[in-house]
């Protein structure tokens, strides 16, 4: 029997669970060619939700394209990757895709190659002047609408980790996008992002280009009872029965965050492969194995931190419910002053080791938190 728990990949079919209401809302909005901003912390399953929405739209005949903004770091790269994504969505034959790319970004002299697996790669051989590039990008952003009209069909474009657009082209690119997108009638856009403070600033700050440009959906956790039922059903389908309290312990330790819940269940199942029952003790044993396996990476991260940052992380790991800026917390862990805590928090947020949840700082990786806690 194969391990039924998968993590770190797009969840589809029976592995995609309990986002029925969110999926219906998202598909409905995008099918109406709306602009939607999907915001959630990392590992809550927003990308899986988005891909399942795109799959549902494809079944309705909608043309869909997706672009992961983590894959691009310059405006030139954005142009190349965007052209490829739109071309692959609008055309099916390889020769048509290549012709499409060369037609829409000729001034960049794109080099188009195909690997043995048939994957198309687009490179840039020219570096146009800034003014030329700005005009090119605007023309490129018009392509989905033109393709929708030509194909007599709706088009939906999905940008994952959209907050990275600020690192790629800054506010100038945001303004260009708004000016083009707001005129398009046959194209829907899904902008998903995991850096909540940046995404929120994009859509809620009246001085920013994307202010009130579309619907904003803040994706929360899957309700614990639904996630618990999913876990129990997965164990049951593989011939295993969690003992009383096991499922609850899994949800508690993983904080009911889908990625961590599935990672933990995967490790628990592997540790109980020859057993029919899954004891509650298997949870702690699985956590220990996970943390041990990640220890070299965590040690490297730890060694790179200043003492003040280490002290704050240790305090947060040992007192997860505490108010970081209360004098009791600061004095208990000898953190200095509220201003020094604020500085350390800001640096840790910038490094991605902490993230904001409901306005409060929390570990972006709960296994790192467990590793620190075990260090004491």
Contact residues for 228 (Cβ-Cβ < 8 A; gap 6+): 247, 248, 251
Contact residues for 251 (Cβ-Cβ < 8 A; gap 6+): 224, 227, 228, 231, 261
Alpha helices in 42-93 (DSSP H): 46-59, 75-90
pLDDT band per the 50, 70, 90 thresholds, residue 122: low
Q: What is the pLDDT of residue 1?
A: 77
More confident position, 153 or 133: 153
Please report the DSSP string for 301-343 in residue order.
HHHTS-HHHHHHHHHHHH-TTS-TT-HHHHHHTT---HHHHHH
Q: What is the pLDDT of residue 81?
A: 86
- Mean pLDDT, residues 241-265 taken together: 96
Q: What is the pLDDT of residue 187?
A: 98
pLDDT band per the 50, 70, 90 thresholds, residue 197: confident
For residue 40, give the 3-state DSSP assignment. Answer: coil
Q: What is the pLDDT of residue 136?
A: 75
Task: Answer for the pair 264, 257: CB distance below 8 angstroms, yes or no.
Answer: no
Range from 165-169, 285-289, 358-362 carrying the lowest mean pLDDT: 358-362
Sheet holding 35-39, edge to edge: 63-68, 155-160, 187-193, 35-39, 215-218
Task: Assess whether pLDDT exceeds 90 at residue 62.
Answer: yes
- In our burial notation (b when 16+ CB lie closer than 10 A, e otherwise), range 255-282 reads bbbbbbbbbbbbbbbeebeeeeebeeeb
- For the record, the structure tokens of 221 come out as 């956790």
Tens of pLDDT, residues 314-351 = 999 999 989 999 999 999 999 999 999 999 999 999 99
d(CA 132, CA 137): 9
Point out which residues pair with 362 in neighbouring strands.
Answer: 355
Q: What is the pLDDT of residue 113?
A: 65
Tens of pLDDT, residues 91-113 = 766 666 667 666 665 555 556 66
pLDDT band per the 50, 70, 90 thresholds, residue 83: confident
Q: What is the pLDDT of residue 42?
A: 86
Q: What is the pLDDT of residue 376?
A: 73
- Mean pLDDT, residues 46-67 taken together: 96
Q: What is the pLDDT of residue 4?
A: 94
Domains for the chain: give ranges and CATH numbers.
19-218 (3.40.50.300), 223-304 (1.10.8), 305-376 (1.10.10)
Task: Assess whether pLDDT exceeds 60 at residue 146.
Answer: yes
Task: Assess whether pLDDT exceeds 90 at residue 127.
Answer: no
d(CA 201, CA 333): 33
Q: What is the pLDDT of residue 234?
A: 94
Task: Assess whether pLDDT exceeds 90 at residue 164.
Answer: yes
For residue 206, give the 3-state DSSP assignment. Answer: coil
More confident position, 226 or 88: 226
- For the record, the structure tokens of 60 come out as 């309705």
Q: What is the mean pLDDT of the chain?
A: 89
Torsional class of 109: left (φ above 0), alpha (ψ -120 to 50), beta (otherwise): left
Tens of pLDDT, residues 227-236 = 999 999 999 9
Q: What is the pLDDT of residue 163?
A: 96
- In our burial notation (b when 16+ CB lie closer than 10 A, e otherwise), range 46-56 reads bbbbbbbbbbb
Task: Answer for the pair 191, 35: CB distance below 8 angstroms, yes or no.
Answer: yes
Which residue matches tokens 């394209």? 65
d(CA 146, CA 184): 9
Q: What is the pLDDT of residue 94?
A: 64
pTM for this one?
Answer: 0.84
């Amino acid at each position: 029997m194969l391990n039924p728990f998968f993590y770190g990949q797009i969840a589809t079919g029976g592995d995609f669970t309990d986002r029925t209401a969110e999926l219906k809302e998202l598909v409905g909005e995008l099918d109406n060619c709306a602009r939607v901003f999907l915001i959630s912390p990392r590992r809550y399953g927003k990308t899986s939700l988005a891909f399942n929405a795109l799959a549902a739209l494809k079944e309705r005949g909608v043309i869909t394209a997706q672009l992961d903004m983590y894959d691009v770091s310059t405006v030139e790269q954005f142009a190349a990757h965007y052209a490829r994504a739109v071309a692959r969505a609008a055309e099916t034959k390889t020769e048509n895709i290549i012709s499409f790319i060369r037609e829409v970004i000729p001034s960049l002299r794109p080099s188009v190659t195909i690997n043995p697996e048939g994957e198309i790669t687009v490179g840039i051989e020219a570096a146009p002047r800034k003014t030329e590039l700005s005009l090119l990008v605007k023309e490129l952003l018009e392509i989905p609408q033109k393709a929708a009209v030509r194909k007599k069909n709706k088009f939906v474009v999905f940008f994952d980790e959209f907050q990275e657009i600020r690192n790629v082209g800054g506010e100038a690119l945001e303004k260009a996008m708004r000016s083009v997108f707001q005129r398009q009638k046959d194209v829907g856009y899904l902008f998903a992002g995991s850096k909540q403070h940046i995404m929120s600033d994009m859509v809620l700050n009246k001085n920013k280009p994307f202010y009130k440009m579309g619907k904003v959906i803040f994706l929360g956790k899957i309700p614990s009872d639904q996630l618990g039922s999913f876990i129990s059903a997965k164990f049951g389908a593989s011939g295993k029965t969690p003992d009383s309290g096991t499922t609850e312990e899994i949800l508690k330790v993983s904080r009911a965050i889908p990625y961590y819940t599935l990672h933990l269940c995967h490790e628990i199942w592997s540790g109980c492969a020859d057993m029919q029952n899954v004891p509650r003790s298997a949870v702690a044993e699985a956590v220990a194995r996970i943390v041990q396996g990640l220890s070299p990476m965590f040690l490297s991260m730890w060694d790179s931190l200043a003492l003040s940052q280490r002290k704050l992380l240790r305090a947060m790991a040992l007192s997860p419910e505490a108010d970081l800026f209360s004098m009791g917390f600061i004095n208990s862990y000898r953190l200095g002053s509220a201003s020094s805590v604020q500085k350390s928090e800001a640096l840790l947020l910038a490094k991605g080791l902490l993230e904001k949840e409901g306005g409060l700082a929390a570990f972006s990786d709960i296994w790192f938190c467990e590793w620190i806690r075990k260090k004491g």
